[in-house]
């Protein structure tokens, strides 16, 4: 017998420059920096029923700049510091020249997530700070949000297709996405600094 479970709307989030500050080849816990709004953005997504899945290219592993366990330690620390937890992390350890199926803008990480979760792609988003993040969203046929943190200001110049939304940062993107999903019941609910 089937047990019916509703498909889950999902936000796929890039890690560096989107969820946390961009640090070139982040590998040391002491270099991990959240934005001051990261926790609130994640809380708001959870409150609105989104699955939150990080998809991150980590070629520093393939380049042997750091070891995979260093990345896992950072992901564990991210979970410790967030009030609401992320549902999963997917990473690509390969080099751009490896031609793997998982490095964004390829869909390997999103396909792996879809194998592990019952994801409602029609109501899902990709949020990131680079053109490859937007291309990943386009390739997956999901909605796209570019943030202007990290490499976002550069990316906005190079995109040849417009994302569904461009936001100053992750929290503004999340506010737009959650408003996009739900009718506004209290128009004073969302105020920006």
The residues of the shown chain that bind Mg ion, judged by CB under 5 A, are 14, 16-17, 129, 150
- Is position 92 an interface residue for Zn ion (rule: CB under 5 A)? yes
Decide: residue 6, CB within 10 A, 0-12 exposed, 13-18 middle, 19+ buried. Answer: exposed
Rounded to a whole number of angstroms, the minimum distance from the CB of residue 187 to Zn ion is 44
The answer for 64, left when phi > 0, alpha when psi is -120 to 50, beta otherwise, is left
> 14, 31, 36, 118: which is the annotated catalytic residue?
14
Of 72 and 85, the one with the shorter C-beta distance to Zn ion is: 72
- Is position 103 an interface residue for Zn ion (rule: CB under 5 A)? yes
Of 12 and 35, the one with the shorter C-beta distance to Zn ion is: 12
| Both tokens assigned to 59 | 């070629």
- Is position 113 an interface residue for Zn ion (rule: CB under 5 A)? no
- Is position 100 an interface residue for Zn ion (rule: CB under 5 A)? yes
Catalytic-residue membership of 164: no
Catalytic-residue membership of 14: yes
Q: What CA–CA distance (Å, rounded) separates 31 from 20?
A: 10
Buried b (16+ CB within 10 A) or exposed e, 30-65: eebeebebbebbbebbbeeebbbbbbbbbbbbbeee
Rounded to a whole number of angstroms, the minimum distance from the CB of residue 178 to Mg ion is 22
180: how many CB neighbours lie within 10 A of its CB? 13
- Is position 102 an interface residue for Zn ion (rule: CB under 5 A)? yes
| Active-site annotation, residues | 14, 16
Binding site for Zn ion (CB under 5 A): 92, 94, 100, 102-103
């Amino acid at each position: 017998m089937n047990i019916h479970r509703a498909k889950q709307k999902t936000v796929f989030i890039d890690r560096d420059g989107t969820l946390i500050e961009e640090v070139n080849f982040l590998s040391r816990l002491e270099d991990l920096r959240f934005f001051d709004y990261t926790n609130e953005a994640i809380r708001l997504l959870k409150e609105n029923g989104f699955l939150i899945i990080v998809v991150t290219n980590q070629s520093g592993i393939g380049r042997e700049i750091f070891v995979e366990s260093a990345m896992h330690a950072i992901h564990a620390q991210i979970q410790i510091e967030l009030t609401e937890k992320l549902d999963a992390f997917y990473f690509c350890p390969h080099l751009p020249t490896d031609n793997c199926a998982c490095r964004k803008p390829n869909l390997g990480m999103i396909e792996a997530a879809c194998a592990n979760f019952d994801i409602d792609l029609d109501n899902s988003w990709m949020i990131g700070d680079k053109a490859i993040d937007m291309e990943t969203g386009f390739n997956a046929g999901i909605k796209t949000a570019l943030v202007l943190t990290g490499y976002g200001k550069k990316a906005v110049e190079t995109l040849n297709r417009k994302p569904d939304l461009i936001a100053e940062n992750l929290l503004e993107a999340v506010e737009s996405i959650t408003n996009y999903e739900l009718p506004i019941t209290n128009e004073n609910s969302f105020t920006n600094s």
